[in-house]
Amino acid sequence: MTEPTRSRTPTKTVNRLGFGAMRITGEGIWGPPQDPTNGRAVLKRAVELGVNLIDTADSYGPYVSEELIREALHPYGEVKIATKAGFLRIGPDAWRECGRPDYLRQECEMSLRRLGQESIDLFQLHRIDPSVAPEDQFGLLVICSTRARCRPSGSLK
């Protein structure tokens, strides 16, 4: 395999090809997969093949994807974990925006616990909630990042 194309920031380098962990959950992105052992094996194999950025979300499962990532890869070493909040799961294949600052803060804290980290490498707003002022949604991301808990969207510090 040739050297993967990389993206660099002043402090981090990630391969341009990451792994999107949405599909390691159950049918309709709901609940656990039929074979969790296989899901963990897929994650490990992706890292063996040079993937060093795993993208997930609190809503995948919900929570299942983050839990499998921790089980398979923690401690993460050079692998960076990107996660997001702002999309509620209300059933299989059923999604709803939720950008309330209290919800986003809660999900940031819960993602930290599920992933077993003290900070999140890349925390993103999954969807903009049209019923919540954008400055409130983005403002919460700034608050999380200044508390060194969740790093803001677009940052791999």
Spatial contact of 69 and 115, defined as CB atoms under 8 Å apart: yes
Is 76 designated active site? Answer: no
Q: Cα torsion at 146, 150, 154, 156 (round to 10°)?
A: 100
Among residues 60, 63, 76, 103, which one is catalytic?
A: 60
CB atoms within 10 A of CB 77: 9
Residue 37 three-state SS: helix
Cα–Cα distances in Å, from 8 out to 28, 57, 124? Answer: 34, 23, 19
Distance of CA 155 to the CA centre of its chain: 13
Q: Which residues are catalytic?
A: 60
